[in-house]
Amino acid sequence: MKRLFFLASLAVLAILAILGLIANRSLNAPLDVPDDGMTFVIRPGMSFTAVSNSLAEQGIVARPRILRWYGSVTGKASSVQAGEYRITKDMSARDLLQAFLSGNVQLYSFAIIEGWNFRELLAAMAGNDAIQSTLTVEDVPRLLDELETEFEHPEGLFLPETYRFPRGTPDIDVLREAYVLMQKVLAEEWPARDPAVPFSSPYEALILASIVEKETAREDERHRIAGVFVRRLEKRMRLQTDPTVIYGIGPGFNGNLTRTDLRSDSPYNTYTRGGLPPTPIAMPGRKAIRAVLHPEPGAELYFVATGLGDGSHRFSETKEQHDAAVREFLARQRADRQAAKGQ
């Protein structure tokens, strides 16, 4: 009997060793995926049995029972995290399970563009299929409450930057990160400001930075344009900048800014009202913020587009010089239209 028990024990150990070898080989073998990899999704609440079955159905794992057994005996089966995973050809089943445990999900990108207003930002997020859209313009009070911010308007509060996140991330989570980063930038830039700038708070600087952002995309002009606006504020001259008027008109703006528009009073019409508008008019980037906190010194009080097609402006110290620059710009526009008709 002892001999039979010994032989039986050896047989069991041999079988276990063989099974262990098979399991180890199976767990360490490369997965059967395309050369360029593939995506696999674990839905929230999905059991590990369902995960392994899905892997087998898609031909990724050849022996799902071994994967389930390994997940069960190691206690890892209950700790996989939902999300979208990128599976590459060099991964094994063991690597894959480790990825599921670490939550190393595939990340997607979304860029907030300098100069976007809040409506444009929401529309872009709603059009991104990796972002879960939960907000509309009517949800602004809820958004501001979620952000725990003191501000009563969302414009300008979100830093233009590229954000990365898993598929299905709610829009409010992306905005929360962008809001925190904007506050971080302001906290870094404000203490280093030129002490002569006429702002009583970082928010006032943010307002002017949004105007500078809308006026130019040229890096070589930001500080110069900021200098013009700062000097106008110091001299109590009206800013007289078209982007604020357009923002005040709102979504109904048809692309044609008229004299009537410039004369129609609103809180954002800087032709009819002095000082800064009540809020930013767009999302300014760090460079625009830095420009208004370090404006270029000089005597220029005016600028107008050159019409050269490169986004450049002509700067003037006097109204007479500015009027001449405006006439030159209008003449160039007329010439360009005539040339276009002749083609």
156 part of a folded domain: yes
pLDDT of residue 28: 62
Clarify whether residues 40 and 94 are in a common domain.
yes
Helix (H/G/I), strand (E/B), else coil: 320: helix
Tell me the H-state helices in the chain. 2-28, 48-57, 64-73, 93-102, 118-126, 140-147, 171-189, 202-215, 222-234, 242-249, 259-263, 286-293, 319-342
Q: State which residues of the chain have pLDDT below 50.
A: 6-24
User: Taking the mean position of all CA atoms in its chain, how far away is CA 250?
Assistant: 23
pLDDT of residue 23: 47
22 part of a folded domain: no
Q: Which of 322, 252, 117 is nearest to 261 (CA)?
A: 252
DSSP per-residue codes, 46-64: --HHHHHHHHHHTTS-S-H
Clarify whether residues 78 and 119 are in a common domain.
no
The angle subtended at Cα 101 by Cα 100 and Cα 107, nearest 5°, is: 55
User: How many Cβ atoms sit within 10 Å of the Cβ of residue 66?
Assistant: 19
Q: How many CA atoms lie within 13 A of 268 on its CB side?
A: 18
35 part of a folded domain: yes
pLDDT of residue 32: 77
Q: What whole-number distance in Å separates Cα of residue 334 and Cα of residue 307? A: 11
Clarify whether residues 86 and 121 are in a common domain.
no
For the packed helices 93-102 and 2-28, what is the interaxial angle rounded to 10 degrees?
Answer: 70
75 part of a folded domain: yes
Q: What whole-number distance in Å separates Cα of residue 223 and Cα of residue 201? A: 19
pLDDT of residue 121: 98
Domain that holds residue 119: 107-187
Domain boundary among the residues 72, 102, 132 is at 102
Q: Can you give the pTM of this predicted structure? A: 0.84
Clarify whether residues 340 and 313 are in a common domain.
yes
Bridge-partner residues for 170, per DSSP? 132
Clarify whether residues 111 and 94 are in a common domain.
no
Tell me the H-state helices in 190-298. 202-215, 222-234, 242-249, 259-263, 286-293
Domain boundary among the residues 169, 187, 205 is at 187
32 part of a folded domain: yes
Domain boundary among the residues 187, 221, 249 is at 187
Please count the structural domains in the chain.
3
Tens of pLDDT along 144-201? 999 999 999 999 999 999 999 998 899 999 999 999 999 999 999 999 999 999 999 9
